[in-house]
Structure formats: C-alpha cells, structure tokens
C-alpha cells in the first residue's frame, strides 16, 4: 500500500502523489457496477446492504453486522472479500431511489400504503424469467405513482424527490468515508436505467470527485441517452465547477441493438450527427462487456459478420438461441430481450460495434463507437468484486447461483494507472487504458507502434520502452511515417490466486483484428500469438486441473495483411485453461437433502474458460480525423 501526500488539484479533488506512484503505470482492479438495498430490484429479494457496507466489503474491511443475502433470506453475518479491490462504485438505479425511501421510512407519509406493504414483503421467488421481470416492472411502476411519491408521481412528487435527495446524499457520504487515496478509491456514481420496449439500455454514470450534480438523471424524466449526455455536459462536465463524469453502457447483449443504435439521437443533418458523435465520444469512452448477465464481446451465427467463426464467442451467453436458431434483426432495433425474447443484432456485441464505428467514422466524419472495455459484476447484493469461483462459507451462497439465475459471478474492471487515487483511475478510464476480465485478476497489457523494439518481451522495462516508442490500449496509432505495418506487443500475467486457492494458468494469447466493409459489415480475424489450444481439462470429480499452461505469455506481432488505406481496430484477448465454476465446486460439497436438483441440470456448464480483453487500439489512414 502506498502512503500519499495530498496536494490541491485544479479540479478541487485530491491530486495525490503516492509513495508507490509508478510512471509506467500499474494494474488496478475494481467493480464499477454494484447495487445495494437502495435499488428496488435488490431490496425485494431481501438485500439489505447499504452503500457503506458495499464500500467496506470492497476495500477488505467487511465485518460482523453486514446484512448479506443468503439462500434463506437476510442474515446478519460477517462478509469479507478474499482479496480487496482497488476501487469501486455503488451504482444504484436513479429511477429507484425515491420510492424505496418513502416505503422504508416510517414517517414518510407513504409507509403504510398498500404498495409499500407489498414492497416490504419478502419475495420467495420470481418464477420464470418473463414472469419475474413482469412482476418487478409492475411493482416499480406502482412505486412511481402518487400513492407513494405524492402529487405528480415520480417526476414531481415531494416524497420521491425527498427520497432521491436523501439516498443520493447517502451514496455521496459513503464514498467520502471510504475513499482513501493511495489505498482504495471510492467513486460517487449511479445507474441510469432505461428499458424501451423491454430492452436494457442502461448506463452507469461515474464521477471523478465529490463535485456532483444535485440529483441523478433518471430515465423517468430524461428518457434517452442524448438527454443524459446533454444534462451531464450542462450541469457537470462543461459547468466550470470542477465536476467531471463519464457514462458506461452495460449489457448491450440485452439491448436489442439499442446501446449501439445508429439513429444518432434523432439528428437529421450531417452537422447534427457530427455534434452528437463528438458529445458521445467525450462522455462515453467505455462499454462494460462482461458481467453476471453474460458476455457482450461477440456471438457466432449473426448476419453482417464476415470472416471465420470465432470458437471462443460461445462464452457465457445469457440469452440462448431456441433450437439452435439465432433470430437476427440485421440493422434494425428490436425489443423484449429482458424477457428473453426478440431478435439479436451484431450491434448487441462490442466487437461488431467497434467495427461499425470504423464505417461510421468514414461516413459521418467521427467514430461514435470508439470505446474501450471493462468488466464489472452488476451484483445486486452489495458485494463488489465477489467474483472468486472458489466455494466459500455459507455467507456467500454456496447453494445458489447469482442474482439472475446463472452461475457466472461477474467480471472485474482493470485499469493501468500511476497510482490508486480517484484522479489517476478516472484519467485511465477516460483515455480507455482499461481491460475487462471475466472475474480473475489477469494482468493484460497491449501496445502498438510503427517501430516497437523486437526484444520488448524480454526486457525488464518493457512498459517504459513501449510507452516511449508506441501507444497503449485505448489509444490511436500515430500517423504512419514510412511504408511499414503496425507492430503489436501483448503481455499477460496469470492471476496468482491465494494460498490454497491458486489462479488458473494461461492457454492462449490472441490479437483480434476488426475492420468494416463498404456496407458496414464487420470483418473479424483472430490470431494466436502466444501459447496454443491444448489438451488441458478438468477432473469434474475433484475439480483438479489437468494439463500444462503458462504463468505468463508475451509476444510481438506484426500484421501481415495490413492495408494502409483501411481503418482498423485491434485488441488483445487472453484465455485461461478450463476450470471448474463455483457452481460445480459447491455441488461437489453438497449431499442428500442439501444438494439442489439444479446440480444435475445438464444445461448448466460445469467448467469455464476464464479470460481477459484489452481495450482496442485504432488505426486511421493518412490524415483522416476520427476525433
């Protein structure tokens, strides 16, 4: 842990210089998507953790007295994370901050209403997906009404406005208490949750420091992303008061093509489309491509994706095709994904959105989808970063899967930053020097340049030399100075794990190249640059791994098919050897009446191949502008 000396920063935040400040940057791991009991959909399933609990858990200071969800409901128990996170953000739904406060505050005036009594009553289960979502949506709609909020309902009702202010202040106060420069960064944040036609078009809003708007922006009053960005620009980013913010969309895999929609916020002219794109690029530098509701990198079987199928695109798919068919939307948007319905589109996945962004940069003059990658959990139990696949004690639900009925415990956000402070980590997020993991703490680096040294992988100062002669993940390649192809260096260190709980070894390190044809269709190429697909596996009777792997992989690769006249994006992906899921480990320990029938469900995968993804690096021909 570093010891920092706080200095006054121009933004009003602490611009700390920690004793372990590293100019070549270090990997920090965090979770920027966490819900507590301030979110109605968490509360109704008996979550009682508060923002204070969430930050205490994430920082490794969990203690007796935390209200933690278990199989049987709320339990007072000790909850500790096996390894503390470096940073976290509580992102309770802006739309749900008012009603729950009114229903859980005895003197609010709404506490004894029928809706509030129903809200506080325990929910044993939600049935199937469609029934459960419909039940939750109906309750949330009731919470927005005048009976709970007061005259004017959720938009102007005095009780809900007071509840939103109170809850928003609680979130800010908790982050202030737990932020410790050089040790743990606690961000003030919320989730903007729009669900048009039952598609998930949600965005987490992360603030740099303690200067934040008076209230969160809710989709109840501001129903589209353009309105969200305009409001954030006006009240925060461009307000000249030291406030800074960014938005991170999540679950594009459940958005029916809406997160990466091509409608440009309704802009009608070329000038308006360019203005929209620049606003979006400024405020939305990232996408969350992995969490408990699955992977949003890629999917085989979609139209408009050219090139050989990617065998690793079947990973953690929350929505499974019916009878093997993938109903395809093409370029249209659809609806119903939250109910497990509707069509798929290639714009549900980050890889193809990045490719389409290249086409739009050529067509419009700016790239609307130049996004880096992070992972997070979206956990609704107030336990940030609870992604360890090893079975722990009864506090962390060995008999159940996660909040949404699947076993995947979610991912983590990785950043490369000089030190563990809000400013340093926020700057890394803005410049997209980030990577996503499916849960393990794999350290993944990715650089590109026109003359990267040939011996980088063997150099102890690899990062220093790479920064000096190239650019890191999230950046644009500088203009080409001579007739050469770009060279890339990718490096991955396996998660070391803990004593008695070792991390997995690495199987392969890859570069993914994406381009776009003249019609905007994605062209993909997957190149193994280190390691190889092998015969490793898992003994399902013991969960012991079998076969060889690597603790570290590094390789230098030059694109042999580089076309200097073609826009392209490249990112790195590293995969571990197969390992048992937590679900499998739990089932091995349960016998008789304690063993749930789901342990014998053949549709639930017993193993997973964990992985990490770097943010892309972009190439633009000549002097073409994509900014």
- Report d(CA 459, CA 463) in Å as an integer: 9
Indicate left, alpha or beta for 134 from its phi (over 0: left) and psi (-120 to 50: alpha): alpha
Question: Which two structure tokens, joined as six digits, stand for 328?
Answer: 């395809």
Distance CA 121, CA 123 (A): 7
CA distances from residue 396 to 92, 381, 383 in whole angstroms, order as listed: 21, 10, 9
Instruction: Give the residue among 166, 143, 165 at the shortest CA–CA distance from 154.
Output: 143
pLDDT confidence of residue 323? 58
Tokens linked to 105: 């505050």
In the predicted model, what is the mean pLDDT of residues 476-482? 89
What pLDDT is stored for residue 593 in this prediction?
66
pLDDT of 136 reads: 81
Count Cβ neighbours within 10 Å for each residue of 113-144 and write b for 16 or more, e otherwise: bebbeebeeebeebeeeeebbbebeebbebbb
Residue 1 has pLDDT above 90, yes or no: no
Query: Is residue 9 domain-resident?
Result: no
Whole-number Å distance between alpha carbons of 38 and 167: 7
Q: What is the mean pLDDT of residues 91-96?
A: 96
Mean pLDDT of 92-105: 95
Whether residue 560 lies inside any domain: the answer is yes
* Of the listed ranges 103-107, 135-139, 361-365, 613-617, the one predicted with least confidence: 135-139
DSSP letter assigned to residue 421: S
**Assigned domain for 127 exists:** no
Q: Please say if the pLDDT value at position 609 is more than 60.
A: yes
Q: Which letter, b or e, does each residue of 444-470 get, where b requires 16 or more Cβ atoms within 10 Å of its Cβ?
A: bbbbbbbebbeebbeeeebbebbbebb
Residues 440-452 pLDDT 10s = 999 999 999 999 9
Tokens encoding 223: 């129903």
- Provide the pLDDT confidence category of residue 329 given band limits of 50, 70 and 90: confident
Structure confidence at residue 14 (pLDDT) = 47
| Percent of the chain whose predicted confidence (pLDDT) is above 90 | 71
Q: Provide the mean pLDDT of the chain.
A: 88
Residue 39, pLDDT score: 94
The whole-number pLDDT of residue 399 equals 36
Helix (H, G, I), strand (E, B) or coil at 523: strand
What pLDDT, on a 0 to 100 scale, did the predictor assign at position 396? 38
Six-digit token string for 506 = 């690495």
Does residue 365 contact residue 357 with C-beta atoms inside 8 Å? no
For the ranges 324-333, 515-524, 612-621, which has the lowest average pLDDT? Answer: 324-333
Mean pLDDT of 500-521: 95
Burial code (b: 16+ CB inside 10 Å, e: under 16) for 376-395 equals bbbbbbbbbbbbbbbbbeeb
Residue that the structure tokens 């859980």 belong to: 104
Among the residue ranges 147-151, 187-191, 619-623, the one predicted with the least confidence is 619-623
Residue with tokens 């030291």: 242
- DSSP class of 71: T
Q: How far apart are CA 489 and CA 476, in angstroms?
A: 15
In a domain, 461, yes or no: yes
Residue 456 lies in a domain: yes
Structure confidence by residue, pLDDT tens digits, 166-185: 999 999 999 999 999 999 99
What confidence score (pLDDT) does residue 603 get? 74
- Can you give the pLDDT at residue 404? 42
Q: Is the pLDDT of residue 4 over 50?
A: no
Give the model confidence (pLDDT) of 260-297 as tens digits.
Answer: 998 998 888 999 999 999 999 999 999 999 999 999 99
SS3 551: coil
In a domain, 256, yes or no: no
The answer to which of 110-124, 230-244, 295-309, 612-626 has the lowest mean pLDDT is 612-626
- HSE-CB at 216 with a 13 A cutoff on CA atoms is 35
In Å, the largest CA–CA distance within the chain is: 74
Residue 563 lies in a domain: yes
Distance in angstroms (rounded) separating the CA atoms of residues 27 and 443: 7
What is the rounded CA–CA span in Å between residue 15 and residue 9?
5
Lowest mean pLDDT among 15-29, 194-208, 315-329, 516-530: 315-329
- The residue among 278 and 406 whose pLDDT is bigger is 278
Q: Which long-range contacts (CB under 8 A, 24 or more apart) does 46-50 make?
A: 46/73, 46/74, 46/122, 46/123, 47/74, 47/380, 47/381, 47/382, 48/74, 49/381, 49/382, 49/383, 50/170, 50/174, 50/382
Instruction: Tell which residue, 245, 257, 136, 144, has the closest CA to residue 200.
Output: 257
Dist. CA 105–CA 50, nearest whole Å = 15
Q: HSE (CB half, 13 Å, CA atoms) of 622?
A: 5
User: In angstroms, rounded to a whole number, what is the distance separating the alpha carbons of residues 90 and 188?
Assistant: 7
Could you give the dihedral angle defined by the CA atoms of residues 396, 412, 313 and 362, in that order, rounded to the nearest 10 degrees?
A: 150
- Res 454: pLDDT: 94
Cα(615)–Cα(598) distance, integer angstroms = 36
Give dist(CA 44, CA 39) in Å, integer. Answer: 9
Asked if the model's pLDDT at residue 395 lies above 70, the reply is no
Task: Give the Cα separation of 605 and 320 in Å (integer).
Answer: 13
In degrees and rounded to multiples of 5, residue 374 shows phi and psi of: -140, 165
**Choice among 427-431, 481-485, 509-513 with the minimum mean pLDDT:** 481-485
Q: What is the Cα–Cα distance from 504 to 536, expressed in whole angstroms?
A: 11
On whether residue 593 sits in a domain, the answer given is: yes
For the stretch 72-88, pLDDT in tens is: 556 666 678 889 999 99
Distance, CA of 334 to CA of 250 (rounded, Å): 17
Spatial separation of the C-alpha atoms in residues 121 and 113, rounded to whole Å: 13
Strand intervals (E) in 45-188 = 66-70, 73-77, 87-89, 185-187
Range of the domain at 553: 443-619
Q: Is 446 in contact with 27 (CB distance < 8 Å)?
A: no
Q: Compute the radius of gyration of the chain from its Cα atoms.
A: 23
As for how many domains the chain has, the answer is 1
3-state secondary structure of 537: strand
- 513: β partners: 525, 570
């Amino acid at each position: 842990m570093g010891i920092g000396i706080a200095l006054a920063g121009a933004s009003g935040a602490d611009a700390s210089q920690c004793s372990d400040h590293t100019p070549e940057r270090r990997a920090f791991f965090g979770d920027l998507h966490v819900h507590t009991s301030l979110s109605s959909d968490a509360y109704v399933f008996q979550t009682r953790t508060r923002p204070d609990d969430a930050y205490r858990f994430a920082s490794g200071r969990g203690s007796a007295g935390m209200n933690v969800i278990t199989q049987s409901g709320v339990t007072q128990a000790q909850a500790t994370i096996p390894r503390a996170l470096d940073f976290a953000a509580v992102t309770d739904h802006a739309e749900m901050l008012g009603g729950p406060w009114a229903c859980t505050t005895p003197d609010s005036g709404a506490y004894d209403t029928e809706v509030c009594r129903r809200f506080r009553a325990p929910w044993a289960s939600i049935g199937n997906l469609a029934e459960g979502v419909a039940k939750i949506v109906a309750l949330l709609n009731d919470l927005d009404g005048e009976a709970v909020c007061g005259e004017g309902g959720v938009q102007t009702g005095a009780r809900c406005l007071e509840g939103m202010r109170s809850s928003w202040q609680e979130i800010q106060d908790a982050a202030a208490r737990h932020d410790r420069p050089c040790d743990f960064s606690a961000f003030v944040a919320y989730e903007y949750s729009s669900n048009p036609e039952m598609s998930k078009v949600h965005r987490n809003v992360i603030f740099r420091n303690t200067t934040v708007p008076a209230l969160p922006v809710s989709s109840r009053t501001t129903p589209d992303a353009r309105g969200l960005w305009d409001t954030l620009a006006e009240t925060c980013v461009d307000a000249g008061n030291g406030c800074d913010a960014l938005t991170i969309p999540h679950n594009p895999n459940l958005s029916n093509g809406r997160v990466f929609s091509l409608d440009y916020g309704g802009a009608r002219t070329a000038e308006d489309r360019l203005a929209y794109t620049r606003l979006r690029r400024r405020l939305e530098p990232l996408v969350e491509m992995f969490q408990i509701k699955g992977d949003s990198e890629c999917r085989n079987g979609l139209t408009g994706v050219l090139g050989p199928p990617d065998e690793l695109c079947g990973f953690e798919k929350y929505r499974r095709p019916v009878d093997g068919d993938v109903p395809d939307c093409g370029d249209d948007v659809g609806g119903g994904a939250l109910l497990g319905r509707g069509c798929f589109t290639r714009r549900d996945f980050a890889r193809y959105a990045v490719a389409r962004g290249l086409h739009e940069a050529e067509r419009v003059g700016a790239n609307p989808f130049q996004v880096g990658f992070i992972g997070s959990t979206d956990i609704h139990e107030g336990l940030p970063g609870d992604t360890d696949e090893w079975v722990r004690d009864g506090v962390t639900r060995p008999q159940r899967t996660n909040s949404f009925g699947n076993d995947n415990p979610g991912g983590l956000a990785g950043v490369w930053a000089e030190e563990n402070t809000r400013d340093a980590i926020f700057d890394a997020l803005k410049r997209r020097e980030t990577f996503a993991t499916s849960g393990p703490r794999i350290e993944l680096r990715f650089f590109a340049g026109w003359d990267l040294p040939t011996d980088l992988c063997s150099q102890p100062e690899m990062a220093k030399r790479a920064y000096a002669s190239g650019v890191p993940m999230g950046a644009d390649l500088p203009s080409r100075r001579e007739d050469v192809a770009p060279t890339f260096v990718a490096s991955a260190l396996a998660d070391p794990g803990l004593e008695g709980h070792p991390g997995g070894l690495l199987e392969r390190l890859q570069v993914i190249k994406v381009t776009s044809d003249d019609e905007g269709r994605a062209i993909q190429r997957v190149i193994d640059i280190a390691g190889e697909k092998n015969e490793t596996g898992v003994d399902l009777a013991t969960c012991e791994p079998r076969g060889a792997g690597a603790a570290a992989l590094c390789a230098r690769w030059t694109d042999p098919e580089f076309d200097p006249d073609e826009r392209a994006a490249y990112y790195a992906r590293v995969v571990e050897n197969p390992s048992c899921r937590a679900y499998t480990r739990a089932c091995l320990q349960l016998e008789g009446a304690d063993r749930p029938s789901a342990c014998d469900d053949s549709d639930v995968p017993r193993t997973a191949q964990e992985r990490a993804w770097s943010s892309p690096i972009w190439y633009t021909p000549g002097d073409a502008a994509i900014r």
